[in-house]
């Protein structure tokens, strides 16, 4: 069976995304990893055929560590993407009531994203930080019934706990985009996206304009552009760009080849199918 690593432990949103993609774990071997770096390196070392990592959240923005490892430290390529809605749940031991809860444990991002619910329903509860929502739910098994956790439905099921309030997040449009990484570039599909990193020769006026012009002149739509520190001097940056189209499309290939003349280096992060919720 195909081995797919993901950001663990069991019960995380990453596992939820993997289950959404696979349907079940009958045909794959899931390998939970302690960090995003470990997921990507497991693919580099051949321990896993694919890895699944979060790369962007609609509220928090890009996951910088994921972008940086792919840009600077790994040859793994993005081979597909998947987006899931982030639904937070208040989880407790069976039989517990909201009125009994005195402590809330979860990852700080999760508690921040449930601020309104907590303020309205548990204003006096002590907030305790955990390394992940999954770890928070696991810890409930060791704590008193006056403690609840914010986590996923699959984590509640995993540890035989009860959801005492569901969908408690402030924003109902909170989504996270995950990407699968592997050691190949998939063939063209009906709708693709290409991700690249541009390393500049040196910072000078018009550098970004010259990059964007290559795509604008060819009517290529850029869906995302972001700068990241180049890991050199302060003020040195690389540009990370997502665009519509596949690297094997003539217009995309020509734009990138032309761009190579004006930048120090271009790294292809991947060329892969766009996630389409309705067709999955």
- Catalytic residue annotation: 176, 178
Contacts 24+ apart (CB under 8 A), 134-143: 134/8, 134/9, 134/10, 134/11, 134/12, 134/15, 135/9, 136/105, 136/106, 136/107, 136/110, 137/11, 137/91, 137/161, 138/9, 138/11, 139/105, 140/91, 140/92, 140/93, 140/105, 143/103, 143/105
């Amino acid at each position: 069976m195909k081995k797919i690593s993901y950001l663990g432990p069991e019960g995380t949103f990453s596992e939820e995304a993997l289950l959404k993609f696979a349907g079940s774990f009958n045909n794959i071997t899931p390998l939970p990893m302690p960090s995003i770096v470990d997921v990507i390196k497991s693919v580099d070392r051949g321990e896993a055929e694919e890895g699944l990592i979060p790369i962007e959240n609609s509220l928090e923005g890009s996951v910088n560590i994921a972008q940086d490892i792919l840009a600077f430290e790994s040859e793994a390529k993005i081979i597909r993407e998947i987006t899931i809605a982030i639904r937070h749940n208040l989880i407790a031991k069976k039989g517990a009531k909201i009125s009994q809860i005195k402590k809330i444990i979860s990852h700080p991002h999760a508690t921040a994203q449930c601020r309104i619910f907590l303020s309205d329903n548990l204003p006096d509860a002590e907030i305790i930080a955990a390394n992940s929502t999954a770890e928070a739910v696991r810890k409930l098994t060791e704590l008193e019934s006056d403690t609840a956790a914010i986590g996923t439905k699959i984590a509640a099921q995993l540890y035989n706990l009860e959801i005492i309030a569901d969908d408690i997040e402030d924003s109902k449009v909170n989504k996270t985009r995950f990407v699968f990484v592997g050691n190949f570039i998939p063939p063209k599909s009906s709708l693709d996206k290409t991700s690249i990193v541009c390393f500049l020769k040196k910072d000078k006026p018009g550098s970004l304009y010259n990059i964007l012009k290559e795509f604008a002149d060819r009517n290529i739509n850029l869906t995302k552009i972001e700068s990241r520190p180049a890991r050199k001097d302060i003020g040195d940056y690389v540009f990370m760009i997502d665009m519509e189209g596949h690297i094997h499309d003539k217009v995309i290939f020509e734009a990138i080849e032309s761009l190579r003349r004006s930048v120090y280096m271009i790294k292809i992060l991947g060329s892969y199918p766009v996630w389409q919720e309705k067709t999955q």
